[in-house]
A = this chain, B = another copy of it.
Amino acid sequence: MSAAAAPAGRPPERLLLGSGPSPVPREVLDALAWPTIGHLDPAFAVIMDDLAELLRATFATANRATLPISGTGSAGMDALVGNFVEPGDRVVCGVHGLFGERMADQLARAGADVVRVEAEWGRAIDPARLIEAARGGLDAMVVVHGETSTGVAQPLDGLGQACREHDALFMIDCVTSLAGHPLALDDAGVDAAFSGTQKCLNVPPGLAPFTAGERALAKLRARSSPVRSWYFDLSLVLSYWQGDGGRAYHHTAPINLVYALREGLRLVAEEGLEARWARHRQAHEALRVALLGLGFERLAPEGEALWPLLAVRVPEDIDEAAVRRMLLLDHGIEVSGGLGPLAGRAWRIGVMGTGARRQPQRRLVSALAGALGVDPTEALAALDEAWGGVRASAQ
């Protein structure tokens, strides 16, 4: 077993300031490597209950059906659509970026009659237009709260109420916004939502935090056709996660990822949701002004920006792929390129969880200025100023 003692191919250390995965704190990696135990072990049940309670607090919901789906964020989308949309349902879908497009794609695969309400990439959708689209009658509305492809936060004002008036479900994708941008599911009248672990929760990818309220569960119970996926069938999943008087085996939960997610959620609870949102806002603003000084302008207009993801236009005279590669390979810093119509024209920079602090941002700004061959002093000063001025801060 000598080769096993020195495993080949340990990955390099990276500062993850792209669109996700985000930096994973040592405590979370440690929890990930805790000893694996059985999915029906009473000791695991305690961890599951603890996780569910922490997840409810993070979503700001009282929904009992709150749990991680056993797949990455996109699995949450499949589970959401697979359980709460039936063939023939009329579903209003907001599309203002790649993740809205995906949602529309998945809805079509599920046999829904998809009513697209669009905005250009880089802008939010006026909620009044979504409400207007609902007037024709609908079974559900789905919007992407944090559009990871453009760094835009979608206002949810009035959408939950409009859906209730039509006896329809209101559902959201909050993969990138959860725990980094103000969001309180019950207050917003959200019936079901999914997220990811590798954004503002700072947990490795592999689970999709998920929640569903009574109106969504009633629709599930009243389905005329079975959920097409056995794996994502929420009524079966819940018999394991909630199992009154005994948890029924469905599939083997990703035990170690559950440990890690609980630990990530514990760190969120320790900081407090509102303090965390405020920190993300401050970090977003700090990085925005610093990058503006280097010629990178934010895509989203004031009032539409998503704190955890700063998408910026890359100056036209820069070979963006070459600079990103230099940041990654010479400085160990990952930032993400643009997607779709923004490929080659924009960068997406993560401001997520432990990445939303001054020190990693200083490292990025210094490295970027170096890669561009400019003096970093002014940009760093702007960053420090936005963080409150004192360089030696623990932020």
Contact = CB atoms under 8 A, between A and B. Distances in A.
A25 B35 CA distance: 9
Interface string A56-88: 000000000000001111110110001000000
B252 A36 contact: no
Given A21-B38, A251-B72, A252-B198, A102 B267 contact: no
B33 A30 contact: yes
A373 interface: no
A9 B106 CA distance: 38
B255 A257 contact: no
Contacts of A182: none
Contacts of A256: 29, 32, 204, 206
Contacts of A250: 74
Contact of A43 (B12, B42, B206): B12
A77 B263 CA distance: 30
A229 B82 contact: yes
Contacts of A204: 36, 254-257
A339 interface: yes
Interface in A295-347: 328-329, 334, 336, 339
16 contacts: A3-B266, A10-B34, A12-B35, A12-B37, A14-B41, A29-B33, A72-B254, A73-B252, A77-B230, A78-B229, A108-B226, A109-B226, A196-B252, A204-B256, A205-B253, A206-B206
